[in-house]
Structure 1
């Protein structure tokens, strides 16, 4: 019996080797990597200029992660996947989830009018937290105000920021239109502070980042020494220049967080595993909503709800002086793509969508 077992063991090992190292599968994986490389290098061609970091994950694990270009032009430091970037409007995901966490704690309701928390806010009895989350409030977006330059480098409290735009004439009545709005998310950050009794920064740091191990993520700062920071750039006719300095108290809860691609995977996995929110409240973030006239629009709470080749996607980008970012998640395939650029002259948005499309095609071929 022992002599018969040895040949069987050999055949089994041979079968496993053939299965695990199937040339077709290996070639497919190599083709996907080459395809992703070519998509990125078509846009990020200057190896001596600012660049990008891209990550692709499937089933919660990284399958592709590379950096291109420089993290710091003056010191000629190459970018690496560990570099920390400013997220810009990808911050809105964290703000929206923080609001839903407070709702689960019974401290607010997304149907509440904002007058419940800010009694003197114009139209505050008609504007709800839901309107702020979905960009349907109609309040003036402070980034479109000419007077923004007068405060761009000042340290503003959340109340000062709200007072800066609250008396501006509304663009439309609540629920009449979808129009992307940074003021709404600044208001949400202020509400988080009023309801939680602490600062927005502390809430995000303690209730989200620390809870799920996002150890390289924080509220942004140009003054703190931040290990592995990627420096941001603009491009002028004469070449690259350092990014314009602003006070991060201006974008606040609409765009002032910073992170890494690896930390964002921890974020996506935590959402999938309901470590921060119940299934019910998680679903509230990822569904489409309707205007007053019944028309649906493609935004949930902090995410655009779209599709890629008919496959549902959750997406959001970000843009802040010196940086552009993009995240695309395909829930049915558990594919997550993140792209960061440290020059606001180059956007990872379409590349991230194209990479998600390539990953979809690779999975389809793999099944066939």
Structure 2
């Protein structure tokens, strides 16, 4: 595999987004040579105190690697394992897109329509913004997470209406459809459209249309105060070791980043999505057609002249860094979930992809 392809994967992951405890690792007997090589790749990062988390790699129905590294919770000395739940951050966005496409299949909306058709109180600046612009990050609506007041504002819970009010009167960064710029604001608006069109909550729609049918039993929408068994605690590197990270209110990232899941459930999602078990062929084609910024709808899509296509996205939320990558032609899925802030997930994904493509 050419280095240029792996560099693209690193770029996509980057755009989205000191102790022996790192050495704890779940293991099983009978590891294959491929699993041992992949395991060694991840261990090199745990040995450097650069990674804690869970890594799963599969090729079709065949699991190549499925292991936990380091601690899910340092205070309680709970090791990471494949059934530990992590906050996903922006991996949530592709699920929001899938809901919109399912509603289009139902005839309840058309992504070519302006958002003002569904949100009647949309500001004048949004009148030319279509649902497709929102899903493809070509709306020109600024990313509310970049506002200087966001850090303080995001620590308190907010309603959907309050969230939209936080950025709805800001001027556009560019004419809708003319450029590309990553913006979590787009997906908050899509969440509001989902609720308006269905009359149900965004979380209910996720459960009814995706998590339930795909049997993603360890996946959900995180909420403030939610007691969740086998939940990973988020950390960041400090001067004398890892530091627990205080989270923003989980009402804030919402349809742009509030999901939690496990690597096992994420691999279920990948294989179901790309095998046509969730979306029809037309919807999947829309999602995976790269536009500006090598972005499809909710995912980055890199198509190479060699014929290999890579679909990827990353997530970053207080104390967590995540990535999810799929190679459709090879049916290779890679999920890397870390409960330590940092860029190790980028390099781990790159190297695991190289190893998987050797099969």
TM range (shorter): 0.7 to 0.9
Partner of 1:85: 86
Choose which of 241, 258, 262 in structure 1 pairs with 2:243. Answer: 241
Whether the 8 Å contact between 1:50 and 1:72 is mirrored in structure 2 is no
Partner of 1:267: 269
SS in 2 for 1:224: coil
Structure 2 vs 1, CA of residues 264 and 125 (structure 1 numbering), >3 Å: closer, same or farther? same
Partner of 2:98: 97
How far apart are 1:154 and its partner, in Å?
A: 1.7
SS in 1 for 2:236: strand
Choose which of 125, 128, 139 in structure 1 pairs with 2:127. Answer: 125
Unpaired runs of 5+ residues, structure 2, are 1-30
CA offsets, 1:119-141, max 9 Å, x none?
33232221100100001111110
* 2-structure distance, mates of 1:30, 1:230: 28
Instruction: Tell me, yes or no, if structure 1 residue 352 matches structure 2 residue 349.
Output: yes
Whether the 8 Å contact between 1:84 and 1:228 is mirrored in structure 2 is yes
* 2-structure distance, mates of 1:347, 1:325: 10
Relative contact order, higher structure (CA 8 A, sep 6+): 2
TM-score (normalizing by structure 2): 0.87
Unpaired runs of 5+ residues, structure 1, are 1-28, 290-295, 364-368
SS in 2 for 1:44: helix
Whether the 8 Å contact between 1:52 and 1:341 is mirrored in structure 2 is yes
Structure 2 vs 1, CA of residues 271 and 254 (structure 1 numbering), >3 Å: closer, same or farther? same
Partner of 2:18: none
Partner of 2:315: 318
SS in 2 for 1:71: strand
More off after superposition, 345-354 vs 234-243? 345-354
Instruction: Tell me, yes or no, if structure 1 residue 62 matches structure 2 residue 58.
Output: no
Partner of 2:161: 159
* 2-structure distance, mates of 1:61, 1:183: 37
More off after superposition, 95-104 vs 348-357? 348-357
Choose which of 213, 223, 229 in structure 2 pairs with 1:211. Answer: 213
Cα RMSD after superposing both structures = 1.8
* 2-structure distance, mates of 1:31, 1:252: 41
Partner of 1:32: 34
CA offsets, 1:295-334, max 9 Å, x none?
x541111110025894211001100001000111000010
Whether the 8 Å contact between 2:87 and 2:260 is mirrored in structure 1 is yes
CA offsets, 1:203-239, max 9 Å, x none?
1012110111000001113522211111111222132
* Residues 230-309 of structure 1 aligned to structure 2 (within 5 Å): 230-289=232-291, 296-306=292-302
* 2-structure distance, mates of 1:79, 1:358: 23
How far apart are 1:347 and its partner, in Å?
A: 3.4
TM-score (normalizing by structure 1): 0.85
How far apart are 1:354 and its partner, in Å?
A: 1.9
Partner of 1:72: 73
* 1-structure distance, mates of 2:263, 2:204: 22
* 2-structure distance, mates of 1:50, 1:353: 15
Q: Which has the larger radius of gyration?
A: 1
How far apart are 1:276 and its partner, in Å?
A: 1.9
How far apart are 1:50 and its partner, in Å?
A: 6.5
Partner of 2:107: 106
Whether the 8 Å contact between 1:308 and 1:357 is mirrored in structure 2 is no
Whether the 8 Å contact between 2:302 and 2:310 is mirrored in structure 1 is yes
CA offsets, 1:62-106, max 9 Å, x none?
221111101111111111111100010000010000000010111
